[in-house]
Amino acid sequence: MYAIVEINGQQFKVEEGKRLFVNHMQNVEGGQTVEFEKVLLVENNGEVTVGLPTVEGAFAKLRAHSLRVTRFSYSTRSVVKVTAN
């Protein structure tokens, strides 16, 4: 069973037990359950239901995990320009 869900203007395929990476989820903490009601398509044992524009009564619940950048560093590269005489 899977569903196509619209999150932040993008469409994602969601399946039970699979991880999903979504950019810029504001006001969501790690461990919090988030419910999305914009379900565009549902597939259940070969039976496909397509919404017009969404599937009525369908929703997806996802548990959020917080990912943070704890350390970021970079180094500049020295560019040596070689000219032939």
| pLDDT tens for the chain, residues 1 to 85 | 899 999 889 999 998 888 888 877 777 777 888 888 899 999 988 999 999 999 998 988 888 876 555 555 555 555 555 666 5
Q: What is the pLDDT of residue 66?
A: 66
Condensed to tens digits (0 to 9), the pLDDT of residues 19-36 reads: 888 877 777 777 888 888
Interacting residues of 33 by C-beta distance below 8 A, sequence separation 6+: 61, 62, 63, 64
- Per the CB < 8 A criterion, the answer to whether 26 and 8 are in contact is no
